[in-house]
Amino acid sequence: MVTAFLFFFVSLLIFCTTESLLVNITILQSAVAKGAVCLDGTPPAYHLDRGSGTGLKNWVISLEGGGWCQNVTHCLQRKNTHLGSSAKMGKQSAFSAMMSNDPKYNPEFYNWNRVSVRYCDGGSFTGDVEAVDPGTGLHYRGARIYKAIMEELLAQGMNTAQNAILSGCSAGGLATILHCDNFRALLPKSAKVKCFSDAGYFVDLKDITGKAYIEQYFNDVVTLHGSAKNLPPSCTSKLKPSLCFFPQNVAQQIQTPLFIINAAYDHWQVRNILVAPGADPKGTWTSCKADIKNCTSSQLKVLQVFRDKFLKTLEGLGPSSTRGYYINSCFSHCQTQQQVYWFGPNSPRLFNKTIAEAVQDWFLDRHLFRQIDCPYPCDKTCVDEATYIISSEDI
C-alpha cells in the first residue's frame, strides 16, 4: 500500500513538473523607495512570462493567495516565510493551469503575458500603515505593493494592452474582487478588461457554535493593516470597513465584468468559517473536515445548510449583465491553479464545461456562464484534492 502510494506520488510529481513552466522571480527593488515592501521590509516580487504572437498585447495577472495575518503574533510568524519576505521566496515559480504556456493545457491564455504577483503582506494587498513598529519591524504595505507592481507592469507594456484579466485564488481571489475596478481604471479605455476570482468569495456566516468568528477575524485584519482607505468606497460609505472585506457586500457595486469561481463546499471555508478554530474542541469534525466523504449524515446536513446560505449571498448580489459564476460541488479550494481542475480529460465539469472553457466563453462574450452545481454528492466529476495538492514552492 505504501509502495503504491509512493509510486503514485512520484509519478504525479513528475507529471506536474513536466507540464509546468519554471519562471524566474523578479525582485522589484525600486518599490522600496515607495515604501512598498513585504512584512519584513524586503522588496515585493513577481514572475512574468512574456506573451507571443497573437497574445503579445494581452495580459493575465494572478494575485497569489495564502490567507492573512490578523495580529502581530501571526504576522511575525509569516515574516520569516515566503508569505512575508521575498528573501524566502523560491527563485522560480511553476506556471501551469491558467498560467501554462502550452495550448494543450491552457487553450485561451497560453500565449498571453502571464504574471504571478507574489503575496507577502498578509492583508490581500489592502494594507497601508506608514509607521513601522521598531520592536517587530513589521510593515503593513499591501496596497503599496499592488500599486508598485501594477506601475511596473504598465511600464513593461501593459499600458498598451488590448485584453487584460486580473485574477487570483483565495486571499488573492478576494484581492481581485477588491481591486477589480481600480485595475480597469489603469488600462486603456479601448481594452477589454475583466476580473475572475477563484475561491475568493468568502462569506459572512456564523460558525457551528453560533459565533461570528470570521467577521471578527476580518475586522482584526482590516484594523491591523489599515485597510479601510483601500477598500471600495461604494461599500465603506455604507458599512463599517471590515464588512467590506466580504465579497457579498462589495461585488454588487463592481462595474468591471467579474467571474466568480467557487466550490459551494469550499474546504477552506468549511474548516475556517463553518468549523472555525476553537469551535470543535472534541474534534468531532476532524475527519469530516479532512474529507467530505468522511462526514456523518448529520454533518452533511450542516454542510447543506452552509451551501444554501453561501448561495443565498451569491443570489443577493442581484442581476448583472456581465457577472458570471461557476459554482461546483467539489470539496476543493483554488481550482484555477491546478491543471487537473483547470483543463484536462478528468477535470471537473459543470454543464459539461471545464472551468477553463467556461472562463473562455465568458471572457470572449460567447456565453455568460452562470451555473450552480447540484448538491453533494451528485457531481461525479470532482477529483480528490488531497491527491493533487503540490505547491509551486515544492517543485
What residues act catalytically? 170, 266, 333
d(CA 228, CA 6): 48
Beta strands in 81-198 (DSSP E): 92-95, 113-117, 163-169, 192-198
d(CA 140, CA 122): 8
d(CA 278, CA 292): 20
Q: Is 362 exposed, middle or buried (0-12, 13-18, 19+ CB in 10 A)?
A: buried
Q: Is 123:78 a contact under the CB 8 Å cutoff?
A: no
d(CA 366, CA 95): 27
d(CA 62, CA 176): 9
Tell me the HSE value of 35 on the side-chain side, using a 13 A CA sphere. 12
Q: Is 165:226 a contact under the CB 8 Å cutoff?
A: no
Q: Is 138:132 a contact under the CB 8 Å cutoff?
A: yes
Q: Is 58:163 a contact under the CB 8 Å cutoff?
A: yes
